[in-house]
A and B are shown apart, each in its own frame.
Chain A
Amino acid sequence: ELKVEQNPLFLSMQEGKNYTIYCNYSTTSDRLYWYRQDPGKSLESLFVLLSNGAVKQEGRLMASLDTKARLSTLHITAAVHDLSATYFCAVPSDSNYQLIWGAGTKLIIKP
């Protein structure tokens, strides 16, 4: 059974600092997705990682995928308050491509 674990589940940090969110999954997959969710809103796609070694960057966020280690990271550089949200990683199952979700990381960035 595919399981996806995120850590930390909660992160409070100061503006300007760097930090990394980790996403581990239990079975082989060459795809992984990162999403952002603001309170009361739906999911916003951040990154689609499709192969081992994939690295994508958008603004202060950078995501990478290591399929051999079954690990993805979401790195935040010089955090700003606007990045406060809950971040989810998700991995598609082999059976019907449903996404298996991490528990989410609630990120609070203090001015």
Chain B
Amino acid sequence: GAVVSQHPSRVICKSGTSVKIECRSLDFQATTMFWYRQFPKQSLMLMATSNEGSKATYEQGVEKDKFLINHASLTLSTLTVTSAHPEDSSFYICSAPLWERYGYTFGSGTRLTVV
């Protein structure tokens, strides 16, 4: 139980285009979603925290106009990378806290390559 389905798993896009990444909670209600990016051989870096029905909270240095986060329902949170550039190429992972279990569940990740 407590699965977060993340799509797409892999996407290649051209510079200047936008890409949307979806994370759906399949069997629980995700009131909060954490969005991470991970560069090769590095740890996870928190980009933003989204809460259902409210604006996302972005970490320092993350452009909110470039990385649009929407959490309009308890089962869906999306991250849209707008006007993507090669430096946005990375591995993006969503994660939801499981309050009752004191744990966290993770999406399977999205490998974004901008060419």
Contact = CB atoms under 8 A, between A and B. Distances in A.
Contacts of A98: 34, 46, 49
A102 B43 contact: yes
Interface residues of A, number: 19
A74 B51 CA distance: 33
Interface residues on B, range: 20 to 34
Interface string A48-61: 10100000000000
B90 to A, nearest CB: 13
A39 to B, nearest CB: 10
B43 A101 contact: yes
A42 B102 contact: no
Contacts of A101: 43-44
A33 B44 contact: no
Contacts of A102: 43
Contacts of A42: 6, 93, 106-109
Contacts of B44: 43, 88, 99, 101
